[in-house]
């Protein structure tokens, strides 16, 4: 419950910063009217590595098709505002994964549950080309990985051990974009 409140609070802070950026941008004198765009999207990924909490660990080798099978639910939306040469982008997503149980190195099986909220905010500038726009973006991304590992040992008495962790990270991003016909 505490984690949910902190996530809601952090989301509220990011939204407040975004709204303040929009309001300050409106106060400036730009020749063109603001243009809002909202888009849902899907992105592909794969995972390869090891996941562990304390003494319990498991290898992770998931192709994109495996992740689609493990997906409980998820979604992402991008909100973009263009005015003049300026661009503001808010990218929000949430994904919940539960891959099939795997054999544990110490016997029995290990199951994993992974929940990932994602918040990204960008500011950028664009330049007009004959067939579109090219520009740059700079911003910050926050991602949290709520992970739960459950070990079910091969014992005559059903005993489960569950460990949880919620590492999160914030990083800064710089990138470019092209918008127009190909």
Average pLDDT, the chain: 76
Q: Which residues contact 91 (CB under 8 A, 6 or more apart)?
A: 76, 77, 78, 79, 118, 119, 120, 121, 122
pLDDT tens profile 28-67: 434 467 778 887 776 677 777 776 666 767 677 777 787 7
- Pick the closest to residue 89 from 140, 128, 41, 133 (CA basis): 140
Look up residue 110 and give its two tokens: 């290990």
């Amino acid at each position: 419950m505490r984690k949910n409140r902190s996530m809601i609070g952090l989301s509220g802070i990011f939204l407040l910063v975004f709204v303040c950026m929009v309001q300050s941008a409106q106060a400036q004198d730009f020749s063109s009217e603001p243009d809002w765009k909202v888009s849902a999207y899907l992105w592909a990924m794969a995972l390869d590595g090891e996941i562990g909490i304390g003494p319990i660990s498991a290898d992770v080798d998931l192709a994109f098709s495996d992740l689609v099978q493990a997906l409980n639910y998820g979604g992402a939306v991008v909100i973009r505002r263009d005015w003049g040469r300026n661009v503001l982008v808010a990218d929000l997503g949430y994904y919940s994964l539960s891959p099939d149980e795997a054999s544990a190195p110490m016997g029995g099986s290990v199951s994993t549950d992974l929940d990932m909220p994602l918040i990204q905010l960008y500011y950028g500038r664009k330049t007009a080309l004959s067939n579109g726009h090219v520009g740059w973006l700079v911003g910050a991304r926050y991602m949290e990985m709520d992970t739960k590992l459950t070990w079910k040992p091969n014992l005559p008495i059903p005993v489960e051990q569950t460990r949880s962790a919620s590492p999160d990270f914030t990083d800064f991003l710089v990138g470019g974009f092209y918008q127009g016909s190909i």
